[in-house]
Amino acid sequence: MGASLSLVPLIDYFARREFLAAGLRPHSVTLPYPDGGSTGTCTVHYWAPAGEPRLPPLLLIHGFGPRATWQWRCQVGPLSRQFHVIVPDLLGFGGSSWDSPSAPPPSEATQAAALAALLDSVEGLKGKRVAVAGTSYGGFVAYWLARAAGPRRVGPVVIASSDLLKTAADDRAFLKRAGEGWSGAHELLLPAEPAAMRRLMEMAVHRPPPAMMTPDFVLRDFIQKLFMDNREQLTHLFKGITVGTDKFQVTPLSQEVLIVWGEHDQLFPVDKAYSIQRSLDGNARVEIIKKTGHAPQLEDPARFNNIMLDFLMAADPAWTNGSSL
């Protein structure tokens, strides 16, 4: 009987219920694929309230791993009281995909371009400034979107648990922290076996659940639903990451920036938050959330939400009033 038990639909149900209770509804739109030439297309699935925004727009960008609804489920309720929240699935995740087999793997720049096109397609958002928050891989995309679109299109920016300065040396240090037996970072970040999934959880969460609560058959189910059903696209996408290469150079942003980090993050150590702050000319605000790991928005959502709300509510009045520069 245990082998047939699946927690994924149950977690999906509760996460979707949080989104629906916050007034968000699922949508999808077909757009030109940014790197697909004249014929390539992509489908972007996203959650947003129906109708034109009556509140300042806020884009929440997820990272690798669990679905967008899982990663932002603790934020959509509190944030939707003050903002018109849009939560997309990045290309290759959830309900978003691309139909351009000859195109290169989607990079952070590709993802950002697809999100910019999405924002232009959403009713009432074309030309409006949008605040952007991204966690982990989503932080790479948020940074790229803010830089490419500029302050006339993107307002305040939140970078959460996202090492914009990641290098090959950081990957080696990550594998050293993970212990022996791993051939590369991809083996943990795209787990195919329960041992890899368990080690990833231990490194991502400050207080991971005890092993007795996560037997192998449960972990295999999570792997199947989250990493295997769409593995070809996820692997393709992983190869397209440009952070740590000469294609991703961090330069200061014109926008106001908040950097949020978990004190005990083992994927991207907390000292990288201050390195990123220095790379942004020291203008970004840094907030470290104690007793959390790589996902502070889930481990201490009350603190995370308060930090985000304080930052966004104090941001440029031109954005909070829905105006353009």
Residues 1-17 have pLDDT tens digits of: 344 567 888 889 999 99
- Are the CB atoms for 230 and 224 separated by under 8 Å? no
Q: Give the model's pLDDT for residue 140.
A: 97
> Across residues 82-98, what is the average pLDDT?
93
pLDDT in tens, 110-145: 999 999 999 999 989 988 999 999 999 999 999 999
pLDDT in tens, 190-223: 888 999 999 999 999 998 887 777 889 888 988 8
Closest CA to 173 of 237, 239, 244, 223: 244
Q: What mean pLDDT is reported for the chain?
A: 90
Q: Give the model's pLDDT for residue 277.
A: 97
pLDDT in tens, 236-255: 788 888 898 888 889 999 99
pLDDT in tens, 288-309: 999 999 999 999 999 999 999 9
CA 295 to chain CA centroid, Å, is 10
What is the percentage of the chain residues whose pLDDT exceeds 90? 63
The answer on pLDDT for 87 being more than 70 is yes
pLDDT in tens, 13-30: 999 999 999 999 999 999
Q: What is d(CA 309, CA 142) in angstroms, rounded to the nearest whole number? A: 18
Burial class (CB in 10 A: 0-12, 13-18, 19+), 148: middle
In order of their start, the domains of the chain are: 14-166+245-316 (3.40.50.1820)
- In one letter, which amino acid is 189? L
Confidence at 235, pLDDT banded by 50, 70, 90? confident
Closest CA to 30 of 44, 50, 11: 44
> Across residues 144-154, what is the average pLDDT?
95
Tokens 């990123």 correspond to: 276
Rg over CA atoms, the chain? 19
Q: Give the model's pLDDT for residue 319.
A: 58
Q: Give the model's pLDDT for residue 5.
A: 67
The dihedrals phi and psi of 36, each to the nearest 5 degrees, come to: -100, 10
Closest CA to 96 of 33, 141, 145, 159: 33
In this prediction the pTM is 0.94
Q: Give the model's pLDDT for residue 132.
A: 98
The answer on pLDDT for 324 being more than 50 is no
Closest CA to 253 of 168, 164, 323: 164
pLDDT in tens, 32-82: 988 756 678 899 999 999 988 999 999 999 998 788 999 999 999 999 999
